Homo-oligomer: A and B are copies of this chain.
Amino acid sequence: MMKAFTKQSLLEADSAFRRDLINSLSGYKSLNLIGTKSKTGQTNLSPFSQVFHIGATPPLVGILFRPHTVERHTLENILQTEYFTLNHVHESFYQQAHQTAARYKGSEFAATGLEETYKNDFFAPFVAGSPVQLACTLVEKQTLQVNGTVLIIASIEEVYVDAEGLRADGSLDLEVLGTVTVSGLDEYYVGKRLAKLSYPKPGKDLEVLI
C-alpha cells in the first residue's frame, strides 16, 4: 500500500518527521569525510553525503553545502585555503565518521580518534585507513538562489585507492573496499552487489559482467 503526502501535508507535518522523510527520499547517498585545515593550522573533519561526479576530463567533483549548518568550518577552510580531501568511510570506522558531525571546538581528528595523515606535501589532511582518498582544489563556487545552498566545484588533483578494490578497467569494487553509504541523516549501510551490467543497446540483451 502506498502512503501519499502532498507538499501541503508535508509542510504541516512535524518538522522532525518532515526532515527525516525528505532527507531519505533520494535513496542511498555517497558518504565522504572532508578533511580541511585552516590558515592557522587547525584541522577539521566532517561527513558529507552530497558529493557527486561532475566530469572525468578533466577530473572534477561537486559538493553541496547546506546553508547555516554545522559544516561551515569545512566550507570556510575550503574558500580560504582552496584545499581539501575527500575520504571514503570504511565500515571499520563509520561510527567515528558519524561522531565527527558533533559540534567540537577543536579538531574532529583528535576528538574521534581518526588519524590525520599527509601525502605528497598536500596542505589538507587525509584520513588514515580510508580506502579511497582524493586531494582536491577549489575551482568554482555557486550559490543557489532558492535557499542559499552553496555548490563547490573542485579539481581532483590526486587519487589514492586501495589496490585490492581497483579493477583493471578502472572501476572500483566497493564491497572489497568496505565503503559505507548513508541514508537520511544517521543510517549507515554497506552494499551487496546485484550485478555489473553490460552497456545497454536497443534490441540487445544485457549481460551480467560480474
Contact A52 B64 (CB under 8 A): yes
Which residues on B sit within 8 Å (CB–CB) of A210? 187
**Is A76 part of the contact surface with B, judged by Cβ < 8 Å?**
no
Known contacts A3-B163, A140-B144; is-contact A169 B16 (Cβ 8 Å): yes
Which of A37-45, A77-85, A145-153 faces chain B? A145-153
A166 to B21, CA, bound (A): 8
Contact B189 A193 (CB under 8 A): yes
Contact A181 B190 (CB under 8 A): no
How many A residues face the partner with a CB closer than 8 A? Answer: 114
**Is A73 part of the contact surface with B, judged by Cβ < 8 Å?**
no
A209 to B21, CA, bound (A): 17
**Is A72 part of the contact surface with B, judged by Cβ < 8 Å?**
no
A77 to B132, CA, bound (A): 37
Nearest CB of B to A75, in Å: 16
Which residues on B sit within 8 Å (CB–CB) of A4? 158-160
- 22 examples of A-B residue contacts, CB within 8 angstroms: A3-B161, A5-B158, A5-B160, A7-B157, A11-B57, A17-B169, A18-B56, A21-B172, A24-B171, A25-B172, A26-B86, A27-B174, A28-B191, A54-B64, A62-B144, A95-B195, A103-B202, A171-B184, A180-B194, A188-B194, A188-B196, A189-B193
Q: Write the chain B residue with the least CB distance to A158.
A: B6
**Is A198 part of the contact surface with B, judged by Cβ < 8 Å?**
yes
